Chain A
Amino acid sequence: MISQLFILSSKGDRLVYRNFRGDGGDDVTDAFYRAVTSLPGDRAPVFMAREGRHFVHVRHGGLYVGATTTADTSPFVLVEFLNRLVTLLREHCGTLSEKSVSVNVALVHELLGEMVDFGYIQTTATEVLRSATHGEPETTKAFSLLDLRSVGLFGAETQQSKVAPGSVTNRPVLPPRGEQGGRSEVFVDVVERLTVVIAANGTPLNVDVQGEIRLKSFVPGGCELRMGLTEELSVGTEEQRGYGRLPLAAVAFHSSVDLEEFEQERVLRVTPGPGEELSSPEQTAELQGGGRCLRWAIPRCQGGAQLGAVFRVQLPPTPPLGLGPAALTFELPALTVSGLRLRWLRLSAPPGAPPGPPQRWVRHLTHSDSYVVRL
């Protein structure tokens, strides 16, 4: 169970504070902030014990989203709840930033009231919360340079701060009351993350691709959305893993996905609730690293082309131990390494939707989560 819940700005100012169980004073956030800032760098452990209570926090968008507990609560519950809370706040306030939270304090409180009762988590389901809350989100200015830093791609910690968020999606999912519609748009992203380790002799040691399909819908009202995936998809060992097939080790779907046609036709049917995040579709592939880095920017690359580059690094005559593995960071737009693609996307327009067909945006993207070549 949760004793207190708070959201602090990066400077330690209290944006939201809720004391669910009436225990503990009002100074816990200060104690927390002191504890966090006394640690060097980003080393703050997820769990900290101070003054008889346990703090757990996650950091998103420069904010500390934290909770305290005085009892032996499952740490997974706490961490998972905070992460859900962050997602929900994003959905309701558009973006998660100091400004959007402080403008929407009343709404956030209302949400918290529905989610947590006396420190017990009641529900985090968007649909339930949507029907239970009545506040309206106030939008903040969609895009500012300051926010750039904090917005990673899909919440991932990308090293590339250049990934500008498409300001189109930085708005609350719920349309303001009375203002019916706006543009109805659907954004679908097929993202794959690579975790690859290649040995010094060129053999891959570990290759792991983790993909996800993310959907963010701005279509007012419930409409059915159908998407067709690559037909060669086979899940687990249910079918033979022949040539040209696309085997997936495991899949997991959101509860609102209707899988009726999935097995036969690889079609997902979704009645979208408000969805996730998105960033701008323009990317360039490039190669870059940390402190000792080498950058190779490829502005455009034609299909089927192969690009090569030879880098010769002159090292001072020191022991070879100084030369570590090479880590590659890159993003490939319009490509998924596994070959999973969205064949088509259909929307059944809801009655009362604004005129005109809804806009559909589909993106494929491969992101190098951890791509290491041993030297």
Chain B
Amino acid sequence: MSPRCHPSLYWNTHSCPTPSGLSPEKTEPLTVPRGASPCHIPTSRLQGGWHLGPRSILVALLGCHCNSTRSPASAALSTLTWCRHDDLKEMLDSNKDSLKLEAMKRIVAMIARGKNASDLFPAVVKNVACKNIEVKKLVYVYLVRYAEEQQDLALLSISTFQRGLKDPNQLIRASALRVLSSIRVPIIVPIMMLAIKEAASDMSPYVRKTAAHAIPKLYSLDSDQKDQLIEVIEKLLADKTTLVAGSVVMAFEEVCPERIDLIHKNYRKLCNLLIDVEEWGQVVIINMLTRYARTQFLSPNQNESLLEESAEKAFYGSEEEDTKDAKAEAASLAKRKPYVMDPDHRLLLRNTKPLLQSRNAAVVMAVAQLYFHLAPKAEVGVIAKALVRLLRSHSEVQYVVLQNVATMSIKRRGMFEPYLKSFYIRSTDPTQIKILKLEVLTNLANETNISTILREFQTYIRSMDKDFVAATIQAIGRCATNIGKVRDTCLNGLVQLLSNRDELVVAESVVVIKKLLQMQPAQHSEIIKHMAKLTDNIQVPMARASILWLIGEYCEHVPKIAPDVLRKMAKSFTNEEDIVKLQVINLAAKLYLTNSKQSKLLTQYVLNLAKYDQNYDIRDRARFIRQLIVPTEKSGALNKYAKKLFLAQKPAPILESSFKDRDHFQLGSLSHLLNAKAVGYQELPDWPDEAPDPSVRNVEVRGTPRCTWDILRLGHLAGVLGELQKVPHIPSLSDSEESGSSSSSGTSSSSSEEEDEEEEEEGSGEQSEEKEGEEEEEKRKKRKEKGGLRKASPGSAGR
């Protein structure tokens, strides 16, 4: 791509300095009539306009600058947009691959920037049969992008792909199928269907995998094909290679997730293959199996659910609850009421466990949610360590992990208690993560660790990050409500914060203190008095409103101060925020009812002010309250009960986690993260009451056992590996491996494109094996990774 295409670069070449004092926003807006020739615009104007002006015009201008000619000077003169791509067309028509490549690169760059390149369609499509792979691939990119818009012309390319589908080289077959299925032209649906069916029984697993990927594409193009596609899915599900397994489950999830019966026969195979499947495929399979298990097995915790309430506390309450104890407990429970886990259920749990070591966070989380939703309570603990490990990953991953940990820590507090320190906040954490960690710490707080946690919180309050400080104060409030023992300590700490210099800290404390005081107001009239004094200083509306409410509610505890506060507030009434005004009216009403002698006139005054307020809520409230509390001859029966209405005993607020109800979404799902149902979310079914027939999963064994097959394949491996290195265009990929291979003749370092092409075709007979070899090699690598420190598999000795 020529660098001139880049707008910023282009402008830099003008290097026309804008006066520094004149910011672009202040320059005259670009006032160029649409039809005007761009050369009439002074460049300096354009520069200013680049930042603010009508972007569409500029983009159009730039488009013609960039693409018409090579020199920017002459570009400015060209105004004929319809012939702007002439040079590209010329290049595409030439018979030099390098020119074609250059043209295609520029076109792809245009697409990437969102510029319209659709008028080049005929010129580009001609090159779909180009021999040069690099050109060909870029043509594919273009074709997939524009085929939908130019359906008729796109059909011209179909025959090339149909030919490609018959190619002896599996790579070419696969790529033909991939592109063919990506062309969103309804008329070729039958062709696609045929191609997919054929590819599904291809001898190369790589082609079969591509066929699996093509299924959802066809389905989205024409959902009438569903039944036929399900047949293909059924066939591919029975495939025994790891390469296909992940892809076909993806197709299954998109096309027919409800056909859970298709999984029965393949369940055990999928469980066993899982560890060798490509990591992105693992995620999809694990999620699907989670759903499957929920419909086919019984809840492993059904016995405990009865005892849950009582057991929960004893179970996780103590500090260092050992998993052994937990297991013993579970075992004893199991004895009392026999529940035997289905061996298939056990198989799934056993085979997914090693994946907790995966390097891919998505896999770890998929297994974690599987354990959380499927494993017996005593076994769920194993995922805690893996999740804590993810906390050392990128901050985005941390963010998602903490969301899930927050939910889990409500239900299974004991699980994360040993890792309490991992959730301590680091000075370098971003605010979002700090707040999530606070959430987790609060959830983990219990009587034994609360003192440690409160000490942590105390240091967090000094942080410079105000949002975080506010969240910490709320967290303290939640700890205080949950753990009665420390309520007074927390309250005292919060009262101390009231003398903090920072108004936000004070305001947040007031709000939290208000909630805490509601639990036991009688003992705390001192604090209420202290807070009454604060009305002179605190300006944050929410805090003022909270104080007023508190004084009104407990005016009997502070009989001398309350009327005085009302007097002050009446004075400043007109300048208050709406939320404060409402509370002033409340306070007045309550005082009127309890202490009408002192506050009658004040109340009248406040109500009069409110009557003419600009906000209708306040006017409404004033009218309503006046009718209710001021006795007139017309006033109804309610008047008698006014005091009961206003000064009823109110239930104390429950401060609870915002993650409390998140667990009805499947963990690790987008819906859980958003706390709202995302499109396409599949509800995790409840455990069935009766176990469905387990025999549906039985498969009759036939043919050679898998392991033998493996060994046979490994025998070929040395030769196959050598073949693998023959992939064109990447010379010297791994020459050392090649030395062992017999057929290294064609690994030239800088052969021309055509030669490479030929080579590929020559070697295509063996290519299907190659691919399998590659897969095999991949498998071995995976195993090594999974095994951690386990010795490498024997295959590698051959290298």
Contacts and interface: CB of A to CB of B under 8 A. Distances in A.
Interface of A: 1, 13-17, 19, 21-22, 26, 29, 42-43, 45-47, 49, 52, 54, 58, 69-77, 79-83, 102-103, 105-106, 108-110, 113, 117-118, 120-125, 128, 130-131, 134-135, 157, 174, 177-178, 180, 195, 197, 205-206, 208, 210, 220-224, 235, 250-260, 262-263, 271, 290-291, 318-319, 321-325, 327, 348, 350-352, 369-372, 374
30 contacts: A14-B114, A17-B112, A46-B400, A46-B432, A49-B674, A52-B679, A70-B679, A71-B680, A72-B671, A74-B668, A75-B669, A76-B361, A76-B397, A77-B362, A80-B360, A80-B397, A102-B6, A109-B138, A122-B280, A125-B778, A131-B727, A180-B732, A222-B734, A252-B788, A259-B791, A263-B789, A271-B737, A291-B464, A325-B462, A350-B736
Contacts of A205: 421, 424
Contacts of A110: 134, 137-138, 141
A124 B499 CA distance: 55
Contacts of B749: 178, 180, 352
A115 to B, nearest CB: 10
Contacts of A327: 427
Interface string B712-728: 00000000000010011
A74 B427 contact: no
Contacts of B137: 110, 113, 134-135
Given A110-B141, A174-B730, 9 more contacts: A13-B7, A72-B682, A76-B283, A102-B6, A106-B138, A117-B213, A120-B216, A222-B737, A255-B784
B184 interface: yes
Contacts of B682: 72
A120 B250 contact: yes
A235 B731 CA distance: 39
Among B360, B424, B674, B734, residue most surrounded by chain A Cβ atoms (within 10 Å) = B734
A69 B671 CA distance: 12
Contact of B213 (A13, A58, A122): A122
B113 A79 contact: no
B733 interface: yes
B673 A75 contact: yes
B736 A348 contact: yes
Contacts of B178: 117
B389 interface: yes
B678 A256 contact: no
Interface stretch (B30-38, B101-109, B583-591): B101-109
B357 interface: yes
B678 A54 contact: yes
Nearest to B782: A255
A14 B247 CA distance: 31
Given A71-B679, A110-B137, A130-B733, A323 B426 contact: no
A221 B732 contact: yes
Interface string B371-413: 0000000000000000001001010110110000000000000
A263 B184 CA distance: 54
Contacts of A81: 280, 362
B397 A369 contact: no
B463 A324 contact: yes
A109 B105 CA distance: 10
Nearest to A138: B1
Contact of B109 (A52, A105, A260): A105
Contacts of A259: 784, 789-792
Among B210, B287, B365, B673, residue most surrounded by chain A Cβ atoms (within 10 Å) = B673
Nearest to A29: B114
B241 interface: no
Contacts of B781: 255-256
Nearest to A263: B789
B735 A221 contact: yes
B365 A74 contact: yes
Nearest to A27: B114
Contacts of A174: 730
B108 A72 contact: no
Nearest to A69: B670
Contacts, number: 275
A368 to B, nearest CB: 9
Given A69-B670, A123-B280, A319-B499, A324 B389 contact: no
Contacts of A14: 112-114
B681 interface: yes
B735 A222 contact: yes
B787 to A, nearest CB: 8
Contact of A120 (B1, B134, B213): B213
Among A223, A259, A369, residue most surrounded by chain B Cβ atoms (within 10 Å) = A259
B433 to A, nearest CB: 10
Interface residues of B, number: 109
B670 A131 contact: no
B394 A83 contact: yes
Contacts of B278: 122-123, 125
Contacts of B145: 19
Nearest to B178: A117
Nearest to A326: B427
B140 interface: yes
B427 A325 contact: yes
Nearest to B390: A76
A349 to B, nearest CB: 9
Contacts of B3: 103
B359 A254 contact: yes
B204 interface: no
A350 B749 CA distance: 14
B226 interface: no
Contacts of A54: 670, 674, 678
Given A17-B114, A123-B278, A134-B729, A79 B361 contact: yes
Interface string B347-380: 0000000000101111011100000000000000
A334 B332 CA distance: 56
A316 to B, nearest CB: 11
Contacts of A26: 114
Contacts of B791: 259-260, 263
Given A75-B400, A350-B735, A134 B134 contact: yes
Among B216, B396, B669, B785, residue most surrounded by chain A Cβ atoms (within 10 Å) = B396
B238 interface: no
A46 B216 contact: no
A1 B99 CA distance: 36
A260 B108 CA distance: 46
Interface string B134-157: 100110110001001000000000
B428 interface: yes
Interface string B691-731: 00000000000000000000000000000000010011111
A22 B141 contact: no
Given A76-B361, A103-B1, A351-B735, A83 B784 contact: no
Contacts of B789: 235, 251, 259, 262-263
B108 A118 contact: no
A351 B184 CA distance: 48
Contacts of B470: none
Contacts of A13: 7, 113
A263 B789 CA distance: 7
A327 B429 CA distance: 12
Given A47-B673, A83-B394, A109-B141, A77 B678 contact: no
A66 B113 CA distance: 15
A294 B14 CA distance: 45
Given A105-B108, A271-B734, A319-B501, A72 B670 contact: yes
Contact of A177 (B114, B750, B782): B750
Contacts of A82: 396
Contacts of A106: 1, 104-105, 108-109, 138
Contacts of B731: 177, 180
Instruction: List the 6 closest A-B pairs by CB distance, nearest first.
Output: A222-B734, A370-B426, A71-B680, A76-B362, A324-B462, A72-B681
A203 B731 CA distance: 57
A351 B725 CA distance: 14
